[in-house]
Amino acid sequence: MNFTNKNVLITGGTTGIGLATAKEFIKAGANVWITGRNSENLENAATEINSSKLKTIVSDTSNLSNLSVLEQAFAEGGNKLDVLFLNAGIAVFSPIEEVTEADFDAQFNTNVKGHFFTLQKLIPHLAEGSSVIFTSSTVATAANLGTSIYSATKGALNKIAQIAANELAGRKIRVNIVSPGPVSTPGLHKVVPEEAKEYLAGATAMQRLGDPAEIAKTVLFLSSDDASFITGTELLADGGYINFALK
């Protein structure tokens, strides 16, 4: 797939799926902007990618004042976005009886409010015929223990994306959802114990965790002209997790 001179913005692009996707877009010739909450993580990502086609923006998408800075960066640069990959997200897993208000607010602020208002602020900067991708999750459909809030945020995202696909269709902007299953990312390794990772791998038909690069290539497909008649769709990249786990 060729993205030569296309402009791509990835929120939450410093690690995991976001970082892998930035690498793939740059390999395909795109100009890529990634956001992250702190400059150190962005510097580490820039060092790892090592490309003049990469630009970094410090932005916490859960903070609306930070979103104004992000919008201003594109307004001043005059760049129209061909791909907006709304990927930033956090997860806190605990039973319903142990969920705190702080954990609830943090997840909804980052995973839902952040994506919603990032899209809203950047709609004027999307090129006609551009592509918007939301990172959701198989947990939006599954009912795993301890994931009530995280799952709810992903379910909310799915509905926002579906409505956005209808609202933006007049400008030929396609909006789609990528829902990974269990993927070997720093985020997963941080919040999931080793024995749970083994369970998750065994709960997929392919009997392994996904690789971030596999999700990245799915994002590139949905962003490409090869997916020109696909919008408002959720694409599961889960190694068969949903079907296998429900048997």
Q: Which residues are catalytic?
A: 150
Which amino acid is it at 18? Answer: G
C-alpha dihedral sign at 222, 227, 229, 233: negative
Query: Across-strand partners of 33?
Result: 9, 55
Rg (CA), the chain: 17
Q: Is 235 helix (H, G, I), strand (E, B) or coil?
A: strand
Long-range contacts of 194-201 (CB under 8 A, 24+ apart): 200/241
Neighbours of 95 (CB within 10 A): 10
| Distant-in-sequence, close-in-space partners of 144: CB < 8 Å, separation ≥ 6 | 151
Provide CB contacts within 8 A for 117, sequence distance 6+. Answer: 61, 64, 67
DSSP code at position 234: E
